[in-house]
């Protein structure tokens, strides 16, 4: 190649460089997922803390009435889904860093299944609260 032409001294194709995915062929998506869910959690968890001031020491009827309101149920479901999604992505990094060898894959699957189930449980609890408050119990 002509020495006067500016070029990059890296053993990597220009297409690979433009795609920007690196040797693992992924990772950028995971990185973005972690940041975007983190940023989304800032307003959602602030909302939750404010709600806890309304609910601290509340009895069952008050909690059901609170959880049955459409806006509260929506925010609560959004908070639960985002929280456990962020937890899944974050815990995966921790497992990747500290769990090696044969234990790695099962631990990763366990994280995936555990956080998914907790998220589902939370969402179904919200649905049940909405139904409960609709039936007036």
State the residues that interact with another protein by CB under 8 A: 35, 38-39, 41-42, 45, 49, 52-53, 56-61, 63-64, 67, 76, 80, 83-84, 87, 90-91, 94, 100-102, 115, 118, 121-122, 124-126, 128-129, 132
The dihedral built from the CA positions of residue 6, 9, 14 and 18, taken in this order, carries a sign that is negative
Q: How far is the CB of 123 from another protein (least distance, A)?
A: 9
Of the pair 9, 59, the CB lying nearest another protein is at: 59
Rounded-to-integer distance, Cα 55 and Cα 28, Å: 39
Of the pair 14, 45, the CB lying nearest another protein is at: 45
Contact indicator for 85, 112 with CB cutoff of 8 Å:
no
Q: How far is the CB of 108 from another protein (least distance, A)?
A: 15
> 3-state SS of 55-66?
HCCCCHHHHHHH
């Amino acid at each position: 190649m002509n020495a006067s032409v500016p070029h990059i001294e890296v053993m990597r194709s220009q297409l690979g460089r433009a795609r920007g995915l690196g040797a693992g062929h992924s990772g950028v998506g995971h990185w973005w997922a972690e940041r975007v869910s983190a940023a989304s959690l800032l307003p959602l968890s602030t909302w939750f803390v404010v709600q806890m001031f309304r609910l601290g020491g509340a009895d069952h009827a008050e909690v059901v009435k609170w959880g049955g309101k459409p806006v509260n149920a929506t925010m609560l479901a959004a908070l639960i889904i985002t929280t456990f999604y962020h937890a899944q992505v974050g815990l995966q990094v921790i497992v990747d860093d500290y769990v090696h060898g044969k234990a790695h894959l099962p631990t990763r699957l366990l994280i995936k299944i555990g956080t998914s189930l907790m998220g589902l449980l939370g969402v179904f609890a919200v649905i049940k609260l909405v139904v409960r408050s609709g039936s007036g119990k």
